[in-house]
Chain A
Amino acid sequence: EPEVTQTPSHQVTQMGQEVILRCVPISNHLYFYWYRQILGQKVEFLVSFYNNEISEKSEIFDDQFSVERPDGSNFTLKIRSTKLEDSAMYFCASRDQGSVAKNIQYFGAGTRLSVL
């Protein structure tokens, strides 16, 4: 079964540093998403991406965050200057171009980001 792949599984960084989290969505999928889960809290939507542009973003997704699809396979989330409160599990998801009414998203295993 095709899977969404995320690397690395665990990223440790110093406050103020830039990090890039990487995702390889399922190959024929066209919609891509990032979510995050702070320890003990809910999984929260960050951003959705379609046709090489952001289609929707949450209030969490401020100027410190950016997403990119640099080639035909990768989908990245960049945090420019990490803060302690960015420590969380970050999940990538993708879905195909099926009906928007049936929004079935497939998730990766997540990247645990620890900001020290």
Chain B
Amino acid sequence: AQSVSQHNHHVILSEAASLELGCNYSYGGTVNLFWYVQYPGQHLQLLLKYFSGDPLVKGIKGFEAEFIKSKFSFNLRKPSVQWSDTAEYFCAVNPYGNNRLAFGKGNQVVVIP
């Protein structure tokens, strides 16, 4: 079945540590890829997106993600996290021309000062 997988649902790390969140999907064909972040009590906010071109995309707040087509992956990274990065992070996949987004389960990230 087509799906989006995010592992390690709960991640706890200290400030200045590096963060990498994995996202794998099982859709064939062309896809659009997204990472959303939800800070406590706030709306889901677009962190970054990939449509085509350079597979390394940079988003807001120092985040970046790399699309590896052969691995069906779109992993999110940040070299040095801050306490304010405490949030839930969602990977989403949109098969080309399709209306809906398919989400992973999310990663709850807690950064300890």
**Chain B associates with chain A:** yes
Residues of A near any B CB (own CB < 8 A):
3-4, 31, 33, 35, 40-45, 48, 55-56, 58, 91, 93, 100-110
Residues of B near any A CB (own CB < 8 A):
4, 32, 34, 36, 41-46, 49, 51, 90, 92, 94, 96-106
> With A102-B51, A109-B43 in contact, do A42 and B105 touch (Cβ < 8 Å)?
yes
- Contact between A58 and B100, CB atoms less than 8 A apart: yes
Q: In whole angstroms, what is the CA distance A68 to B44 when docked? A: 22
> With A42-B104, A43-B106, A104-B49 in contact, do A48 and B43 touch (Cβ < 8 Å)?
no
Which of A43, A55, A101 touches B51 (beta carbons < 8 Å)?
A101
Closest 3 CB pairs of A and B: A107-B44, A43-B103, A45-B100
Please count the residue pairs between chain A and chain B whose beta carbons lie under 8 angstroms apart in the complex: 62
> With A4-B43, A102-B51, A109-B43 in contact, do A55 and B32 touch (Cβ < 8 Å)?
no
> With A42-B103, A43-B90 in contact, do A101 and B41 touch (Cβ < 8 Å)?
no
